[in-house]
Each structure stands twice: as structure tokens, then as C-alpha cells.
Structure 1
Amino acid sequence: MKIVEKNEFIQKSNDTLLSILDMLEKLPVVRFGEIEADKAALIIIDMTNGFAKEGALKSDAVEELIPKVCELSAICDKLKIRKIAFADCHTDESPEFDAYPKHCLKGTAESEIVDEIKNIGGYTLIEKNSTNGFLEEAFRNWLSENPDINTFILTGDCTDICVQQFATTLRAYYNKNNKRARVIVPLNAVDTYDLGQHDRNLMNVMAAYNMIINGVEVVEDIIE
């Protein structure tokens, strides 16, 4: 990659960001009535205490997602839509801690799904030891055992890390197998964190754009 001149880069990037924001302002709203409930699944990604309520990676923005995820979870129960909840769950030896502070250690409260979502229940819990839940054998087994599923509604955190990785890998999986599937990400049901150069708003916008250009169906909201 060529190192660009800063002023030129900032000017061009500003124009690009404005264009992306214009696109995101026009995203559609999806209704559950448009979805075949018996062929759909709600995927709850990392709505754990370690991202929402306590620990080194706790984010207020993630905590604020809890009511929306609970709302969608309850709707899915009513419609008999299957649900999966991924939960970060690491050992002390996790190489991921070379990139991130220690978080969500197995057996601690941080690795538990938040009580509000846990109390609704009804999901298959899959623990994950990396940022990409698709890589977990338990998920691939679930996918094989549920071949009728062709619509995935993704919620949780972080938009630019675990959500984006899972969404684009899932999309690529169906592309590779020449199968039609919808991978839907409602923007008001995902979020990320603010920390230094990791600007939450910028990361959300760029993650949404990257998912869109990879065939993920990014929408404003999903409602009854």
C-alpha cells in the first residue's frame, strides 16, 4: 500500500464518508412479516457482562443495546424463530490477549450473557474463543443440523469486530456453496466502543459499509 499525502487523504476521505452517511440514512426497515419464521434465526453476539457491564472492555454503548436485543429476542420467541447466543469465553492462554486486554475469562461473570437476555432465554449458547463465532465447531454443527435456515438476524457487539467478522464469513459461506441466504444486520441492534483511536462512530460507519459491499443486508431496524 502506498503512503498517501495527509491533506489529500483527509479531503477525499471526507467526501467518501459523506457519501456513505447519505447511503446509511436511506437504509430500509425490515418487518418480521417478510421473513419465514421457521427458516430464520436470531444471532446474539457477545452480549456478555464483560462487554456490557464490567471489565476492561465494558462499553456504555453495548449496555444500551440490551433493551433492543431483549425486544427482538421476545419477538422471536413469539414467532418461534430459533436463537443462538455467542459468548466470549477465554482461557488465560488466549493469544487474543496480545491484541486486547484480558476479558471474559471462562468461569467468571464477564463471560456470562447479561441477566436481562438470560432471563428471556430460549437460545442455544455457544461459547467462543476468538472474535469470529463462525469458527466454533458448535456453530458449524448447529448449521449442519438446521439446513432449512436461510435468514440470519445479527445483533450485539462489536459492529466492527465480532459482528462484521461473523456476518461476512457467514455470507461468504453461503456464496461459496451457491446457496441463497439473507444475513441481516439492523444497525440499531449493534454497536461498538470508544477507546483512543478507536472512534465508535467512525468504526460503526465503516463496518456497516464493509458489510454492505460484502453482500450483508444492513438495515435501519427490524420490527413486527
Structure 2
Amino acid sequence: MKYTSMEDFARDSSKTLYDLYKMFEEAGAIELEKLPSTHTVLVMIDMINGFARSGALMSKRVEELIPEIVSLSVKCDELGISKLAFADNHTGISPEFEAYPVHCLKDTSEAEVVDEIKNAGGYKLIPKNSTNGFLEEEFQNWLGQNPDINTFIVTGDCTDICVQQFSITLKTWFNKQNRSSRIIVPINAVDTYDLGIHNGDLTNLMALYNMHINGIEIIAALI
């Protein structure tokens, strides 16, 4: 990376951020019932207590996603769309704790799906011991058992970490096999956290853009 002056960087970046904000502000919605139900799955990533309700990494921004994702979950049930829920479920020796505070340990309430989504039910739960749920053997088995699924609605948190890693890895997995796929991320159903220089609004925007340039469909909402 070639560094320029701080003033030039701030000026040029401000224009880029404005353009990105406008692009996503004008993103359209998709009618859920127009997606092929037998080829579609709803993916809910880390909508668990340890990110929404308690613990070192809890965020009100994540908690505020719950009603939208519950509503989407219920609509998927009505349309016969399958559902998956990933949940951080770490061992006590997870190397991830070198980068993040200890969180979502196995067999604790932090690792459990929030009650509202749990009560809606109807999903397959996949525990994960890393930020990228794609790598879990249980998900790999599910992919192999569901070869007709090629449309993924990805929701949850955090947009710039687990959502982004899963979505891009999944898209490139399909690309490698020359198989068409749709990975759809609704803006109103994903978010990240605020902490120090981790500005939630900024990192959320940049994650959406990074997914966009990697072939992920970024939409306003599913209606």
C-alpha cells in the first residue's frame, strides 16, 4: 500500500464512502416467495446470547436484528424454505481467543440461540469453533446431502467477520465447481458491533462492499 497524505486520503475516502452509502441505500428488495423454495435455504449466523444478550462480545446492534430474522424465519416456514443456524461453540483452548475475548464457550448460555429464534424453530443447528462456519464438517455434510440447494439467504452477525467469511467462501466454492449460485445478504438482517476504532457503521458498509465485489447479492430486504 502506498501512503498518501492524511488530507488526500480523507478527502478521497469521503467521496468513496458517500458513493457506497448511496449505492446500498438504493438497493432493491426481493420477494421471498419468488425464490425457488426447494433450492433455497435461510442461514442464520451467530444469533446467539453471547453476541446479542450477554458476555464480552454482546452488542445491542445484534440484538436489534432479532425481530427481523424471526419474521424472515417464519415466512420461510410458510414457504417451505429450509433453515440453518450457526452458533459459536468454542472449546476452552480455542486459538481464536488470541484475537477476541473469551466468548461463547461450549455448554454455556452464551453459545445458545436466542430464545425468539429458538422458539420459531424449524432449523438445523450447526455449532462452529471458528469465525467461518463453511469449514465445519457438519455443514460440509449438509452441502453434500442437499445438492439442489444453490440459493442462500445469509443473515446474522457479524457482517465483517462471520457473515462475510461464510458468504465469500461459499460463493467461491460454487464458482470452483462451475456451478451457478445465489448468495443473498439482506442489509436489514445483518450487522456488526461498535468497539473503539471498530466503527460499526463503517465496517458494516465496507463488508457489504467486499461481498458485493465478490459476487454476493446485497439487497435491502426480503419482503
Aligned to 1:69: 69
Any residues of structure 2 matched to 1:51-66 within 5 Å, and which?
A: 51-66=51-66
| Structure 1 residues not aligned, in runs of 5+ | none
Q: Which residue identity lines up with residue 80 of structure 1 in the other structure?
A: G
Aligned to 1:185: 185
SS at match of 1:221: coil
- The TM-score with structure 2 as length reference comes to 0.99
Any residues of structure 2 matched to 1:38-117 within 5 Å, and which?
A: 38-117=38-117
In structure 2, distance between residues paired with 1:25 and 1:53: 28
In structure 1, distance between residues paired with 2:219 and 2:149: 20
| Structure 2 residues not aligned, in runs of 5+ | none
In structure 2, distance between residues paired with 1:73 and 1:18: 33
In structure 2, distance between residues paired with 1:93 and 1:5: 43
Aligned to 1:4: 4
Aligned to 2:161: 161
Q: Which residue identity lines up with residue 131 of structure 1 in the other structure?
A: T
Q: Where has structure 1 moved over 6 Å in runs of 4 or more?
A: none
Deviations 1:32-81 (A, max 9, x none): 12200111000000000000000000000000101011001111111111
Deviations 1:103-162 (A, max 9, x none): 000010000000110111111100000000001010011001000001100110001100
In structure 1, distance between residues paired with 2:158 and 2:67: 16
In structure 1, distance between residues paired with 2:161 and 2:37: 28
Q: Is the 8 A contact 2:87 2:113 kept in 1?
A: yes
SS at match of 2:87: strand
Q: Which residue identity lines up with residue 58 of structure 1 in the other structure?
A: M
Cα distance, 1:180 vs structure 2: 0.6
Cα distance, 1:3 vs structure 2: 2.9
Q: Which residue identity lines up with residue 114 of structure 1 in the other structure?
A: V
SS at match of 1:30: coil
Aligned to 2:17: 17
Cα distance, 1:4 vs structure 2: 2.9
In structure 2, distance between residues paired with 1:32 and 1:55: 34
Q: What is the aligned-residue identity percentage? A: 58
In structure 2, distance between residues paired with 1:218 and 1:165: 15
SS at match of 1:168: helix
Aligned to 1:27: 27
- The TM-score with structure 1 as length reference comes to 0.98
Q: How many residues get paired? A: 223
Q: Is the 8 A contact 2:86 2:133 kept in 1?
A: yes
Deviations 1:158-202 (A, max 9, x none): 011000111111111111111111000000000100000000000
Aligned to 1:214: 214
In structure 2, distance between residues paired with 1:176 and 1:163: 20
Aligned to 1:137: 137
In structure 2, distance between residues paired with 1:57 and 1:4: 34
In structure 2, distance between residues paired with 1:141 and 1:217: 25
Q: CA RMSD in A?
A: 0.7
SS at match of 1:29: coil
Q: Is the 8 A contact 2:53 2:59 kept in 1?
A: yes
Cα distance, 1:2 vs structure 2: 2.4
